[in-house]
Structure 1
Amino acid sequence: MQLPESQVAVLEAANADDAQSVDALAAATELPPETVTGAVFELEDEGLVAVAERVDETLALTDEGAEYADSQLPEVTLYEAALEAGADDDPAQMGRVIGQSGLEGPGVDIALSNYARKGYGVIDSGEITADADADPAADAEANALAALEGADETPVDSVEIDEGTLEQLERRGLVEISETTVREVTLTELAVTELMAGLETAETVGQVTPELLTSGDWADVEFAEYNVEADAERVEGGNVHILRQTAERVKDVLVGMGFQEMEGPHVDADFWINDCLFMPQDHPARTHWDRFALEEPTHIDDLPEGLVSDVEQAHRQGVGPDGEGYHSPWDEDFARALALRGHTTSLSTRYLSGTEIGEIEPPARFFSVEKVYRNDTLDPTHLLEFFQIEGWVMAEDLSVRDLMGTFEEFYAQFGITDIQFKPHYNPYTEPSFELFGTHPTTGELVEIGNSGIFREEMLEPLGVECDVMAWGLALERLLMLMYGFEDIRDIHGTLCDLDLLRNTEVTY
């Protein structure tokens, strides 16, 4: 019987009684594993070998996991700092505790997102508490990391780590679970018979070379068959993030509905972010607990003098004969303070005032899909930064029906037809309402946006003399309704699930 050289080598190295893996055969024949795999498949087709397959799972710490195994998890560090600050007796200021912990950069986000989940305490409104009964020594995730420390790869079935802890470690990117298909080869009776009769090596060529072409020998040689089932190296190519893909689709939908896109700074003066929205300067949302102020520079240099005066007048005394205003403190220095925008409505105020592109005549429609920043408590539906779908329509005699109809048309483009509305209060819109959609997996109502008709106290200082309806929608919440994600940290942020992002089929 004539066979290619690689197949002969595999048959001579294999055994009829003991199964041998492809790697073992590769070592015995000194052939590459992929060559042996190809030969094994061809021999199986000829009935000369039997192939059994199994999938082995192994665990290995990532670099981040190894770092925490060597030191400790960020949430444990935060807990120890909270105890030192006396947070087991009275709530402590979160900023002070974080500073004392020594955590920096992504470590802060990681600690905050896991602190309450593990029962170390509560984080609320910029304050942190510590549960005196919590025991870091019993932290299942920390103990699992310690058990895996120092090992390159550990079989999953050889470690005593419960499934929930393992899933959480993998989700956090602290361990990697690798799956390897192991093929074991055994000689058949036919192969034993052929080996006893003697095998001959057939001269075959695996690929066309320049020498074969130039010499003309390609016409006389025998080529080996190409095996499309042979193992190949897996390559993870780059991919556009599903959040960015959805953002681009949102832009296409809004442009198709007649909207123009707005652009503007991520860092802006409180004047544009809040004062122009008729938000009183003593509003709780304008404290340092809810905004990210800049350390350098701290204030903007230039603001339109006339507009500043008109906005201050609206805050102090209101607008129109029946206007009341807030009669609360108003400080231009505070209005000039710089911060990361908490919403993209700062773009709307810039455009509506005519500062950005000049005076806008009704009817007009504008939108933006950009990032905003808020000092929120991290949970499955909140991050410190997220994307907001800002939009507004300027026209005469607008009503809530127009606003609701716009939402129904917009969300229908994404297959969402069960939008619900709830009356709400905003300092800058009246009437106002929130939007809710049904989560496709849990069936729960998820808040997806806020909206309303801009108040006269906001529009008159900006020089707008007709109605403007506006909204701020959460892009990440739209993804939750479209794809069934239950935790936006899986798709966005330091703990995102790369496998989930790679394998999620984008909906168009």
Structure 2
Amino acid sequence: MRLPDSQLAVLEAASATEPTPVDRLADETELKPETVTRAAFDLRDDGLVTIAERTETTADPTDEAHDYLESGLPEVRLYRAAIEADADDAVELGQLIGAAGLEGPEVDIALANFARKGYGTIDSGSVTADPDADPDSDPEADALATLADGGSVDNDAIDADLLDQLERRDLIVRREHTVREITLTDDAVTALMEGIETAETVDRLTPEMLTSGEWVDVEFSEYNVEADAPSIEGGRKHILRQTADRAKDVLVGMGFQEMDGPHADADFWINDCLFMPQDHPARTHWDRFALDVPPIQGLPDQLVDRVESAHRDGVGEDGDGYHSPWDRDFAEAVALRGHTTSLSMRYLSGFAGADIEPPKRYFSVEKVYRNDTLDPTHLLEFFQIEGWVLAEDLSVRDLMGTFEEFYAQFGITDIKFKPHYNPYTEPSFELFGEHPTTGEIVEIGNSGLFRPEVLEPLGIEADVMAWGLALERLLMLMYGFEDIRDVHGTLCDLELLRETEVLH
């Protein structure tokens, strides 16, 4: 009997009494696992081996989990800090956050799991710890330690619900793969005892073989077209970026020009120009991401004076401002923009060099940043479809008609409107659409006509209607996604994105 080198190597390494996994055969033969697998299938077809297959699940701790294995789960650290602070009585949460060494998203993680695990209660910013709780036997921490030490998930050593919880927290990644084990048949044992010769084979036809005539005498390897092959996924544009590009195309087709500008900007452009009082709750550190960088001091002085006057005293004979504190240092402070309306202010003021003689239409589809609580419809950063129209005698009907035309391009024709309050627009209204899967009414944007307190300091004498629409919410209405975290972010479901058919 004559066999190719790879098949002979597999036969010599395999056993007739003990099933041998492909990975172990690859190590012993110094062949690639896929080469061993291909050789095994060929040998099986010749009746020389049997192949047993089973599915094995592994759960690997993520980088975040490894960090927690060293420092402790956030909720456990919060509990220990509360106990050390004698939190039988309520202790301010802010005091415990620093003592526990919690930073960034760890704070929300600790708050989400503290009460769930029975470590205590959190009420109105105060923490009370249960002194009878036992963080040393935290099931999630124990399971992570077991998995980090190479523990298996197939022998029921770790509860399935616990694994599900760890996966929801993005602390483990579960993978399924096929394990193949090879066993020699009696015919293979006989053949090995009688002796097997090595067959010199080639796996491809080359131009040199054709020109020399060598192809006549060589023996070509057989190919098993049913054998497993590695799955290779090609790269492609993310579905969210595809939808963003399509939104841009629609708006350009409606006569709009695109704006651009900085993601980190002075609070003056982000909020002050929008007649947002500086003591507004949305401008605290709980909602905005302030940056520890030098302030932007190149603001146009005359515009700053007019905006400050509008805040203090209002505009017009009957105007009335907020009569609240207004500080230029705060206006010059830099933060990540919470909406792309900062671009609208730059353009409408002429500061961005745009021609603002009416009529004009501008838009942007850019990322914004807000310190929101993560849930199926909210992320810390998302894309906003910003737009405004500068013209004479605009009305709410013009604004509603613009939305109906825009969303109709995406097959969405059941937009609903609800009156709303904004500090910078009057009248104002929110937009809603029906989710195609759940039937829930989902907020998809906010809009209105800019108030005189916004336009007069900018030197605008015509009307301006404006809006901010959520690109991710548009995606949910188009494709039926129920959790936007499946589409982008740390919990992104790659299989979902690969399988989703792009709509045109």
- Deviation for aligned residue 1:364: 1.6
Alignment partner, residue 283 of structure 1: 280
Of 187-196 and 23-32, deviating more is: 187-196
Q: Which residue of structure 1 aligns with residue 311 of structure 2?
A: 315
With 199-208 and 449-458 compared, the bigger mean Cα shift is at: 199-208
The 8 Å contact of residues 432 and 453 in structure 1, kept in 2 or not, is answered as yes
Residue pairs, 1:256-335, within 5 angstroms: 256-297=253-294, 299-335=295-331
1-structure distance, mates of 2:47, 2:100: 66
SS of aligned partner of 1:157: coil
Q: Would the aligned equivalents of 2:82 and 2:129 in 1 still touch at CA under 8 Å?
A: no
Is the 1:376–1:382 contact (alpha carbons within 8 Å) kept by the matching residues of 2?
yes
Q: Does 1:382 align with 2:378?
A: yes
1:421 aligned to 2:417?
yes
Letter in 2 for 1:276: C
Are residues 1:207 and 2:219 paired? no
Structure 2 counterpart of 1:56: 56
TM-score normalised by structure 1 residue count: 0.84
Instruction: Indicate the residue corresponding to 1:41 in structure 2.
Output: 41
Counterpart of 2:100 in structure 1 is 101
Q: How does 1:212-227 map to 2 (within 5 A)?
A: 212=209, 215-227=212-224
How far the C-alpha of 1:187 sits from its partner, in A, is 6.4
Percent of residue pairs identical: 72
- How far residue 422 of structure 1 moved from its aligned partner, in angstroms, is 1.8
**Aligned AA for 1:140?**
P
Counterpart code for 2:312: R
Q: Is the 8 A contact 1:421 1:434 kept in 2?
A: yes
AA aligned opposite 1:332: R
Query: Partners in 2 of 1:13 and 1:282 — Cα distance?
Result: 76
Alignment match, 1:255: 252
1:350 corresponds to:
346
Asked if 2 retains the 8 angstrom alpha-carbon contact of 1:387 and 1:475, the reply is yes
Q: Secondary structure at the match of 2:142?
A: helix
Structure 1 position 482, deviation (Å): 3.5
C-alpha distance in 1 between matches for 2:350 and 2:29: 78
- Structure 2 vs 1, CA of residues 66 and 272 (structure 1 numbering), >3 Å: closer, same or farther? closer
Q: 1: CA distance between counterparts of 2:249 and 2:386?
A: 14
Give the structure 1 partner of residue 143 of structure 2.
144
Q: Does the 8 A contact of 1:86 with 1:92 survive in 2? A: no
Give the Cα–Cα distance (whole angstroms) in 1 for the partners of residues 459 and 351 of structure 2: 11
**Matched residues in 2 for 1:332 and 1:433: separation?**
31
Shift of 1:26: 5.1
Contact kept in structure 2, 1:59 and 1:175, CA below 8 Å: yes
**Residue 342 of structure 2 aligns to a residue in which SS?**
helix
Deviation, 1:171, is: 4.3
May I ask how many residue pairs the two structures share in their alignment?
503
Structure 2 partner of 1:74: 74
Seen in structure 2, the aligned counterparts of structure 1 residues 237 and 404 have a Cα distance that, compared at 3 Å, is same
Instruction: Answer whether contact 1:451 1:472 (CA < 8 A) is retained.
Output: yes
Deviates more, 1:78-87 or 1:62-71: 78-87
2:368 alignment counterpart = 372
One-letter amino acid of the structure 1 residue matched with residue 448 of structure 2: G
Counterpart of 1:479 in structure 2 is 475
Instruction: Give the Cα separation in 2 of the matches to 1:288 and 1:130.
Output: 24
1:80 offset after TM fit, Å?
Answer: 3.4
Highest RCO, 1 vs 2 (Cα 8 Å, sep ≥ 6): 1
Contact 1:352 1:464 in 2 (8 A): yes
Looking at structure 2, the residues matched to 483 and 119 of structure 1 have their Cα atoms a distance apart, in angstroms, of: 38
Cα offset, 1:426, TM superposition: 0.6
1:454/1:230 CA distance change after superposition, 3 Å: same
- Which stretch shifts more, 18-27 or 265-274? 18-27
Distance 1:405 1:192, change over 3 A: farther
| Change over 3 Å in CA distance of 1:236–1:113 after alignment to 2 | farther
In structure 1, C-alpha distance between the alignment counterparts of 2:29 and 2:334, rounded to whole Å: 69
Gaps in structure 2 of 5+ consecutive residues: none
Letter in 1 for 2:251: L
Distance 2:122 2:443 in 1: 22
Give how far 1:428 is off: 1.0
**Residue 108 to residue 167, structure 1, CA distance change in 2 (3 Å):** same
SS at match of 1:437: strand
> Deviation of residue 248 (structure 1)?
2.7
In the TM superposition, residue 464 of structure 1 has moved relative to its aligned partner by 1.6
Instruction: From 459, 466, 472, give the equivalent of 1:463.
Output: 459
- Going from structure 1 to structure 2, the CA distance change for 1:436 and 1:292 (only over 3 Å counts) comes to same
Aligned in 2, Cα 1:315/1:242: closer, same or farther, shift over 3 Å?
same
| 1:303–1:135 Cα change, 3 Å | same
Deviation at 1:425? 0.6
Q: CA deviation at 1:460?
A: 1.9
Deviates more, 1:232-241 or 1:280-289: 232-241
**3-state DSSP class of the match of 2:421?**
strand
2:390, 2:463 within 8 Å by CA — same for their partners in 1? Answer: yes
Equivalent residue of 1:403, what SS?
helix
The 5 A counterparts of 1:25-36 are 32-36=32-36
| Contact kept? 2:268, 2:331, Cα under 8 Å | yes
Distance in 1, matches of 2:355 and 2:412, equals 35
What is the root-mean-square deviation of aligned Cα atoms in Å? 3.7
Distance 2:494 2:121 in 1: 29
Q: TM-score scaled to structure 2, two decimals?
A: 0.84
Aligned residue type for 1:385: E
Deviation at 1:72, TM superposition (A): 1.1
